[in-house]
Structure 1
Amino acid sequence: MTDRVVVAGAVFDRGRLLAARRSAPPELAGRWELPGGKTEPGESGEQALVRELREELGIEAELLERIPGAWPLKPGYVLHVWTARLVSGVPAPLQDHDELRWLGPGESGTVDWLEQDVPAVAEAVRRQPGGAHR
């Protein structure tokens, strides 16, 4: 049996990375993550991520590239991450989050990321669209 894919987006806008603070479940509440969610049956990772960003944050994003690698989550789940560019909307914590924060260059280490997001965040910052790699 294959793992169920959870997708996340390293959403960038004007050189800043969007971080989302979990409000649930209790064991994850207060920790930060890249926003996203589970794929549905018959849905590609890209389709799931576009849908999840719309549902959870009320934004439209253009997916740029999948970051190589897969990070294990709880048993039976694996995380895939894409870099993305904000196209429209103002992000708001509509589901599963109680705070959002834009992190400028050099600020990605200022929040308490979930362990599985740490390597993906580092790679996303390295691949940041549009330049300012600091």
Structure 2
Amino acid sequence: MNERITTCGIVLECKKVLVAKRSVGAKTCGLWEFVGGKNRYHESEEETLIREFDEELGVKVEVGEYLDGVDFVNNDTLYHLKAYRVSLLDNSFRLSVHSEIKYVSKEELLTLEMVPSDLMLINKLIEKGLI
């Protein structure tokens, strides 16, 4: 089985977390997720998050500490999803693969239809008091 690292950035502002809704046409269209993506083999996890936030939201970020992770299997590949605290360096969003973004409370987060891997991660982050 192949293995890949994928990352997501947890952006917190005023006790709310940033989530994005995938646009129509994407495999996970209509589902909410944390911004991030697959690690390219030559990238560090921090470089992946910087690239993904630029590609998906058009913003610059600073990557902070590692928070937690979960493993999941998709199409015969074992993914190691790793979550990092991320700070936005600007708010001039330019959406490319998402139809909308918003900040939600922990309670609101639990009501959204999230991609399955992020839902697994949310439960761990809540248990640890990280969101």
- TM-score, normalisation: structure 2: 0.81
Match of 1:15 in 2: 15
Distance 2:7 2:25 in 1: 17
Checking the alignment, whether the CA contact within 8 Å between 1:3 and 1:78 is kept in structure 2 is yes
Number of equivalenced pairs:
130
Q: Give ranges in structure 1 of 5+ residues lacking alignment.
A: none
- Mark the runs of 5 or more structure 2 residues left unpaired by the alignment: none
- 2:80 corresponds to 1:84: no
Could you tell me which residue of structure 1 aligns to residue 51 of structure 2? 51
Q: CA offsets per residue over residues 9-38 of structure 1, 9 Å max, x none?
A: 222122111111011544411111111112
Closer, same or farther: CA 80–26 of 1 in aligned 2, 3 Å: closer
Distance 2:43 2:22 in 1: 24
Question: What SS does the corresponding residue of 2:5 show, helix, strand or coil?
Answer: strand
The share of aligned pairs that are identical, in percent, is: 22
For 2:122, what is the secondary structure of its paired residue?
A: helix
Which residue identity lines up with residue 70 of structure 1 in the other structure?
Answer: D
Change in CA separation of 1:80 and 1:29 when aligned onto 2, cut-off 3 Å: same
